[in-house]
Amino acid sequence: MSTNTTYSANEFKGDFFRNGTFLTGSAVLADDTAIKIPVPTNGVLIGNGMGFREYFITYFRDGSNGGMQSVNTGEDVSVAGKAALGGTTGPDGKVNLSISDGKLFIENRRGSSIAFKWTILG
């Protein structure tokens, strides 16, 4: 089932598939900005920025015992676990990833705008 849902300005906008299957999307993030994407309780995030240093494969689980763990990431990616990222929260010079309150965060601290693509398996 495809649903088109619109979120506030700093959240992902677009078509996505829900019901525990998958979500795919893309966005251009300016430096020192973050987006948040509504996600299922647990799953796998696969994505990339514009180069070999900004790819990521992570497992995530939301909730009090949740967090995010890297399966494989490029050297310019930092996995922050359970922190809500706001644009300048994570380490400078990195793409920062986390999960908090049912939202997956992608934060760009690399120094310039980056186009991201991702798939979430839930």
Angle at 106 between CA 102 and CA 9, to 5 degrees: 75
Cβ pair 51, 111 in contact under 8 A: no
Which residues neighbour 46 within 8 Å (Cβ) at sequence distance 6 or greater?
Answer: 56, 57, 118, 119, 120, 121
Is the pTM higher than 0.85? The answer reads no
Cβ pair 122, 105 in contact under 8 A: no
In the chain, % of residues over pLDDT 70: 83
**Integer-rounded Cα radius of gyration of the chain:** 13
Cβ pair 34, 10 in contact under 8 A: yes
Q: What's the pLDDT tens digit per position in 21-49?
A: 678 888 899 999 999 888 878 899 999 98
- CA neighbor of 115 nearest in space, from 49, 40, 68: 49
